[in-house]
Chains A and B, each alone.
Chain A
């Protein structure tokens, strides 16, 4: 059974870079047709898609975050990662990693990690 698990610092200082990793277990991140995405949810608020990556390295980013986001993949470790630069308090959120089919229904994330809370504070 495929599982995703987010990991990374729970506290990041303002203006620094937030870095998270999602480890895929029970299956290969190199499976054809699947993309791997990051979604976040500020406390008490709705979901926001950050971006997604294919195992080949092809990426799609949310236009509103694109200038600060980098998503990368490491197929040897079955992991993909998120970097969000110049963070502010507005980036405080639960960050989820999830799987989806970009070429079918790009918004249909069928397997999710449990989420990890990241707080931006000095």
Chain B
């Protein structure tokens, strides 16, 4: 299995919106509504932000939203805040296995 493809970095100014893509295949992202997104600050464990493509766990701000079209899933963060600066990872189910994306570094300018 190959890692899902994410852009290495994205950036945005406070208050703006950004979108991070996660591209897979019909065997993973495109084949199931099982895409999750994680936020990871330096030296910390990842935090689940989105599951099942677009669902937010309790406590995650509604500024975070997820979607999927074909083999590409997306995480959108609106109203960007300084504390959103972190690494973001997507994951997907595939054939009795789990695969992660390579990660995207979000910089808040």
Contacts and interface: CB of A to CB of B under 8 A. Distances in A.
A110 B34 CA distance: 14
B34 A105 contact: yes
Contact of A105 (B3, B46, B52, B97): B52
A46 B47 CA distance: 14
B57 interface: yes
A108 B96 CA distance: 14
Interface string A82-122: 00000000000000101000001111111011110000000
Q: Is the interface of B mostly helix, strand, loop or mixed?
A: strand
Contacts of A45: 103
A96 B1 CA distance: 21
Interface residues of B, number: 25
Contacts of A113: 45
B36 interface: yes
Interface size class of A (residues with CB under 8 A): 20 to 34
Interface stretch (B13-21, B78-86, B87-95): B87-95
Interface in B31-80: 34-36, 38, 45-48, 51-52, 57
Contacts of B102: 46
B99 interface: yes
A62 interface: yes
12 contacts: A46-B3, A46-B100, A47-B100, A48-B100, A52-B98, A62-B97, A63-B97, A105-B93, A108-B34, A108-B91, A109-B36, A115-B45
The 6 closest A-B pairs by CB, nearest first: A107-B91, A108-B51, A112-B45, A49-B98, A47-B100, A46-B103
Interface of B: 1, 3, 34-36, 38, 45-48, 51-52, 57, 89, 91-93, 96-103
